[in-house]
Amino acid sequence: MPGPRLSLRGVTKSFDDVAVLKGIDLDVGRGEMLCLIGASGSGKSTLLRCMNGLEPVDDGQVLLDGIDIAEPGFDLGPIRQQIGIVFQSFNLFPHMTNFDNVCLAPRRVLREREDSLRPRVEALFERFGLGAHMRKYPDQLSGGQQQRVAVIRALAMKPQTMLFDEITSALDPELVGEVLDVLRKLRDEGITMVLATHEMGFARELADRVCFMDQGVIAEEGPPDMIFSAPEKERTRKFLASILR
C-alpha cells in the first residue's frame, strides 16, 4: 500500500487546560525509524500514547494506513495488535513467568495454538539472548533483561509498527548496549519504529529521521546529520548545546 504508515494531522491534546500537544503534523513512512527528541515535558510520551490510542486526542486525526483511529468511538482493539508499545518502566506482569508474559496476548487475542506459539516465542527469547530466562519471573532478571522481555512481549503480537518510550533511561549505561542491539535487529527487519529518547547517540546512529519537540510542537525535523550537525532553528541549537555541553 502506498502512502505513509502513520500520519498525524493537527493533533492536539490538553490535560486540565494545559495544552501538551498543540497541533502535531507528522508522517511516518513504512519501515522508517523515527526518533523523537526534546526536553523533558515537551510531550514526547504523550505523542506516542496518542499514536496507539492509549491517550484519546482532543482534536485532529491519527491515520493508520489511512484509517482515522482517533475518531471518537473507534474500536481500538484490533489496532492495538498492529502497534506494539514498550514503556520506560517495562510494565511486565510480575505474577507470570517471562514466558507467560509473552504468551498471554497471543493466546487470548490472536487465539494462537500452543504448538505454533511455543516454538515461536522460544525462538524470540533465543534471538534476544534470553533463552535461559524464560521460566523465571520478571523480578529475577536485570533491568536490561526485563526491558528485552518487554520488547519480546510486544513483538510476539507480530506488530508492523513499534513505539518505544525512553526504553533505556532506566538502565545502567552498560545495559544500554543490549537494547540498542535489539533495536538494530528490528530496523533490519523493516519494522516501522517511533522512538522517544534522550540518548542522542541512539538517534544519531539509528534514526532515519529525527524530530525535535519543543513545548508541544515539532520544532524541527530532518535527517540526523542535519539535526545534530546543522540545525536550522535557534531553539534546536540551544537544546542540543544544553545536553551535549
Partner 1 sequence: MTRRAAYEARQRRRANLIAGGSTVAVLLLVIVLVPLAPGWEAVRASFFDGEIFLRTFPDLARAFLLDVAIFAWSVPMIFAMGLAIALARGTNNPALFPLRIFGAVYVDLFRGIPVVLLVYLVGFGIPGLGLPRPWNSPYIWGTVALVLTYSAYVAEVLRSGIESIHASQRNAAICLGLSERDTMRYVILPQAIRRVVPANMNMLVALQKDVALLSFIGPVEILRQAGIFKSLLANFTPYVVAAVIFLCVTVPATRYADYLMNKDRNARS
Ligand X SMILES: Nc1ncnc2c1ncn2[C@@H]1O[C@H](COP(=O)(O)OP(=O)(O)OP(=O)(O)O)[C@@H](O)[C@H]1O
Check residue 197 for interaction with Mg ion (CB under 5 A).
Answer: no
Q: Between 88 and 97, whose beta carbon lies closer to ligand X?
A: 88
Question: Of 138, 53, 132, 201, which Cα lies nearest the Cα of 183?
Answer: 201
x/- string (CB under 6 A) for ligand X, residues 27-46? -----------x-xxxxxxx
Q: How far apart are CA 31 and CA 161, in angstroms?
A: 8
Name the binder of 80 from ligand X, partner 1, Mg ion, none, CB < 5-8 A by kind: partner 1
Contact 59, 11 (CB under 8 A): yes
Question: Of 153, 208, 166, 210, which Cα lies nearest the Cα of 184?
Answer: 208
Q: Between 43 and 53, whose beta carbon lies closer to ligand X?
A: 43
- Measured in residues, the chain has a length of 245
Return the residue of 45, 52, 161, 197 that touches Mg ion, per CB under 5 A.
45
Q: Which three cell numbers stand for residue 7?
A: 500520519
Contact 24, 10 (CB under 8 A): yes
Q: Between 45 and 168, whose beta carbon lies closer to Mg ion?
A: 45
Q: Between 45 and 101, whose beta carbon lies closer to Mg ion?
A: 45
x/- string (CB under 5 A) for Mg ion, residues 127-166? ----------------------------------------
Among the listed ranges 21-29, 43-51, 92-100, 109-117, the one in contact with Mg ion (CB under 5 A) is 43-51
- Strands 209-214 and 217-222 come out as antiparallel
Q: How far apart are CA 127 and CA 184, in angstroms?
A: 13
Order of strands, sheet of 217-222, starting from the edge strand that comes earlier in the sequence: 83-86, 161-165, 192-196, 33-38, 209-214, 217-222
Residues near partner 1 (CB under 8 A) are 52, 54, 77-78, 80-81, 84-85, 87, 89, 91-95, 104-105, 108-109, 137, 139-140, 153-154, 157
Binding region for ligand X (CB under 6 A)? 15, 20, 38, 40-46, 166
Question: Where along the sequence are the contacts to Mg ion (CB under 5 A)?
Answer: 45
